[in-house]
Amino acid sequence: MERGCRLSVAVPASLVSDVPHLREKSSKIGLIGRAAAIFKVDEIIVFPDLPSVDQSQSASLISLILSYMETPQYLRKRLFKIRPELRYAGILPPLRTPHHPLANRMKDLSVGEHREGVVVRSSRKGLLVDVGVERPILVPKAQLCVNERITVRVVEVAGRGRAVPVRRSEVGEYWGYRVTVSGDSFGRLVKSGAFDLVIATSRYGVPFVVVRDELAGRWKMADRILVAFGAPAEGLREIVMREGVELDVVADFVVNMIPDQGTETVRTEEAVFASLALFHCL
């Protein structure tokens, strides 16, 4: 199923505040990335939810691990240095999205195929780009720096091979998500006007089945959709109350995605899976 809209998911910077160890933090963030890939999320936004606390370290950890997951395996050594925050990267689930191909030989490339690459060096003929095969391929007439990431379309497989740069939006299939660390609180993020449909998930919201038809109609008309989730310690309603606003005012829909839940709480990563599964049907 191809979507005509751009889907963003917003999670708070305190997403992993309830687990102390880096291994558990990595596992939790990994579930968010996996859910985003399964349900074709275009962007994951990490927003500050505790104004009195410096959350830059937590937000950076979430962004780093999510970005590492989204990067094809063959590019990770070039784009990510050895960092203690990635100590448990080995437990992260693989995404296996179209831009994470398993083929790693030049003979496996096809004309018209899209690949993610990174510039390894420049020459008089253009750029030499690592696209995950045994030798870099030539991308002529491109202006990028060494170690810069690029999306390309293969146009020739003979000899060294040749490709041309393309925008991710031109690929025609799901091509991973972007990660954005926002400096704005959730209320300011929504008020920026970047989204024409904002859905806040909350156990105090209207049950999904009640608003399903209205929501489906708005979803089909929207160009940019934001689905937001609360933190382990408090929901979106409490988070925006600190800004002096009501969640029902800043969001178009406040929806309880798991009414009559059987547990005292639903973890953020669980809510992401449950919510995106239902929204995917829209």
Task: State how far the Cα of 82 lies from the Cα of 206, in Å rounded to an integer.
Answer: 46
pLDDT surpasses 70 at 207: yes
Average pLDDT over residues 86-111: 95
Average pLDDT over residues 242-253: 94
- Which one has a higher pLDDT value, 107 or 1? 107
What is the pLDDT, as a whole number, of residue 143?
82
Task: State how far the Cα of 211 lies from the Cα of 207, in Å rounded to an integer.
Answer: 7
Q: Are 230 and 201 in contact (CB under 8 A)?
A: yes
Handedness of CA 164, 169, 171, 172 (dihedral sign): negative
Q: How many CA atoms lie within 13 A of 24 on its CB side?
A: 7
Residue type, position 9, single letter: V
Q: Are 74 and 11 in contact (CB under 8 A)?
A: no
pLDDT class for 142, splitting at 50, 70, 90?
Answer: confident
Burial class of residue 110 (count of CB atoms within 10 Å of its CB; 0-12, 13-18, 19+): exposed
Residue type, position 98, single letter: P
Residue type, position 160, single letter: R
Average pLDDT over residues 135-141: 92
What is the pLDDT, as a whole number, of residue 1?
40
41 Cβ partners below 8 Å, 6+ apart?
7, 8, 9, 35, 177, 276
Average pLDDT over residues 270-280: 96
What is the pLDDT, as a whole number, of residue 112?
96
Structure tokens at 194: 């970047």
pLDDT class for 193, splitting at 50, 70, 90?
Answer: confident
Nearest to 239 by CA among 7, 18, 10, 6: 10
pLDDT surpasses 80 at 96: yes
Q: What is the pLDDT of residues 11-26, one digit of tens each?
A: 999 999 999 999 999 9
Task: State how far the Cα of 101 lies from the Cα of 266, in Å rounded to an integer.
Answer: 34
Q: At what angle do helices 56-70 and 22-38 cross, to 10 degrees?
A: 50
Q: H or E stretch including 138?
A: strand 137-139
pLDDT surpasses 60 at 4: yes
Length of the chain as a residue count? 282
Average pLDDT over residues 99-109: 93
Residue type, position 170, single letter: E
pLDDT surpasses 80 at 2: no
What is the pLDDT, as a whole number, of residue 229?
98
What is the pLDDT, as a whole number, of residue 78?
94
pLDDT class for 43, splitting at 50, 70, 90?
Answer: very high
Phi, psi of 191 (to 5 degrees): -70, -10
pLDDT averaged over every residue in the chain: 94
pLDDT surpasses 70 at 109: yes
Residue 156 to residues 47, 130, 237, Cα–Cα distance (Å): 43, 15, 54
pLDDT class for 3, splitting at 50, 70, 90?
Answer: low
Sorted by where each starts, the structural domains of the chain and their CATH numbers stand as: 6-96+176-280 (3.40.1280.10), 106-167 (2.40.50.140)
Structure tokens at 125: 């003929």
